[in-house]
Structure 1
Amino acid sequence: MEASNDAAADTPVVVERRGAALWLTLNRPQRRNGLAPETIAALSAGLDIAERDASIRAVVLTAYGPTFCAGADLKYLRRLARLPAAEAAETQQRLLAAMGDTLDRMERLAQPVIGAVNGLTLAGGLELVLACDFVVSVRSARFGDAHANYGLIPGGGGSVRLPRRVGPATARYLMYTGDSMPAEELAHTDLITRVVDDDQLESVVQTLVSQLSTKSPLGVSTMKRLVFDSLDAPLADGLRMELDAARDHSLSADMAEGLAAFADKRTPQFSGR
């Protein structure tokens, strides 16, 4: 995406409403959108908005500049290293806790989160992508873990989420070698929903948002919760979760409206209840 305007130049994340979606755009292109405490705090504040506003039907996470996110701001980490050891460890622990909380909130958010990946995605940037429900990537993007290149290890769930999305073999390669892979090579995995030409990213994401905005908010949020909660549950437990959710959903206004609209051959007007 193109650089932000001057008014937003000092904002680590530009938050804007576009139709039915809330767009969160990483806005430190001169630092390859490196993650610092203020970036994570701004992302969390954006999620606050989505949690409060039921009219938001999707959250889009993207970035200004040629890089989506190259991971942690290494200059910030170097400053941490100059602090006394105990203070540095405590500060880094707070940063990792804040990052983990933000990623967990993305997964738990009622609305789907769409990662609109516009370029190189590494380390903490990859961990952001792993918390998204959909990932639409430009063809020129590359994805990698990269922590090993700097003597680091994942701290935002990367070593846990990455094998589940791309498979253990590919995850081991990305984590142990620090190498990156092009989007098209990862398109067959569960990491990427769709690879598009670089000039199509925004239009494809807008089309996906439009699709989501016509569906039952309650139905989508319930299915998202079921997918998340049942992922590691035994099959019998997962089926029980779905049965309980289906029983509750059968009493919802959204289900009644969907069936009535089908019978009347009209477009449903869902309320999210």
Structure 2
Amino acid sequence: MTDAQVLRSQAGRVVTLTLNRPDKLNALTAGVLRELRVHLAAIAKDDGVGCVVLAGAGRSFCAGHDLEALAGGNALDSRYEEAETIDLLEALPQPTIGRLQGHCLTGGLELALGCDLLVAASNVKIGDTHAKWGLVPVWGLSVRLPERVGMATAKRLMFSCEILDGAAAAAIGLVDESVAEAELDARIGRIAAQVAANSSQSHRINKTLLHAGRNTSREKALRYERDMPFGQPSDSAERLAAVKVK
């Protein structure tokens, strides 16, 4: 038995971080995000990690912000502490995969959108319900949701508070794939293994290029890439030497 609200496990080069409040459907508090932040900071410096899976214990990924904690003040160290934790997830050098099942609502969706890839169970319940509770997003939803699904669809989801299943979410690009719940772990395992087998240094550079290109003109982004500001990954020669000509 553990009191940890975020669990870390590792198989090979794949690390899984699991939100561990299953009795609360992994609803988020300042404490949960604080623990997550500690793990993210450690993983960012760990060259032995090639891919990170973010999951939820029990029957849900994350039902959102813990509204009881929110009403009680939530004991933040700083105003932006929670949002900055999701920023750290997004900026993690290693590729990340969100494992979505059960509930993925509102604050849980904001957290999931910090991941690079999202794979959902077909019976997931995913959506934004800020407006249902008279709230507005402060963890990045108004930026990351339209980046995923386009502005018009983001408006529809935010204004209607519609809850989607996995197939509907995949159809609009909110998640990358939807599979039967019984197949979720196997599918994510295959993707994570493929990612982790590739060059971690390539991943770090690629993520930096992708994020940089988002914040500048297309012309500048193209020039930035071709100037190779980070050079070639140091494992490039070794990997190329291992290629067998068929």
Q: TM-score, normalised by structure 1?
A: 0.84
Corresponding position of 1:57:
50
Output the CA distance in 2 between the equivalents of 1:181 and 1:17: 31
Which one has a larger percent helix, Structure 1 or Structure 2? Answer: 1
1:196 maps to which of 179, 202, 226? 179
1:49 Cα deviation from its structure 2 partner? 2.3
Q: Verify the 8 A CA contact 1:107 1:228 in the aligned structure 2.
A: no
Deviations 1:209-268 (A, max 9, x none): 21112211111111111111112421111101211227711xx43221222122x459xx
Deviations 1:39-87 (A, max 9, x none): 001111111221221011111100012221111100111212xxxxxxx
Quick one: percent identity of the two aligned structures?
A: 34
1:173-192 paired onto structure 2 within 5 Å: 173-192=156-175
Gaps of 5+ in 1: 1-6, 81-87, 267-273
1:165 Cα deviation from its structure 2 partner? 0.5
Output the CA distance in 1 between the equivalents of 2:109 and 2:214: 20
Corresponding position of 1:126:
109
Measured on the aligned residues, the alpha-carbon RMSD in Å equals: 1.9
Corresponding position of 2:16:
23
**Secondary structure in structure 2 of the residue aligned to 1:253:** coil
Deviations 1:98-129 (A, max 9, x none): 12211111121110011011221111100111
* Number of equivalences: 246
- More relative contact order in 1 or in 2 (CA 8 Å, sep 6+)? 2
1:219 maps to which of 202, 205, 213? 202
Corresponding position of 2:238:
257
1:144 Cα deviation from its structure 2 partner? 0.8
Deviations 1:137-186 (A, max 9, x none): 10000211101111110010001110110111221121112221122112
Output the CA distance in 2 between the equivalents of 1:227 and 1:162: 17
Output the CA distance in 1 between the equivalents of 2:211 and 2:218: 14
Corresponding position of 2:33:
40
Is 2:118 the partner of 1:135? yes
Q: TM-score, normalised by structure 2?
A: 0.93
User: Measured at CA, do residues 30 and 247 of structure 1 come closer, stay the same or move farther in structure 2, by a change above 3 Å?
Assistant: closer
Gaps of 5+ in 2: none
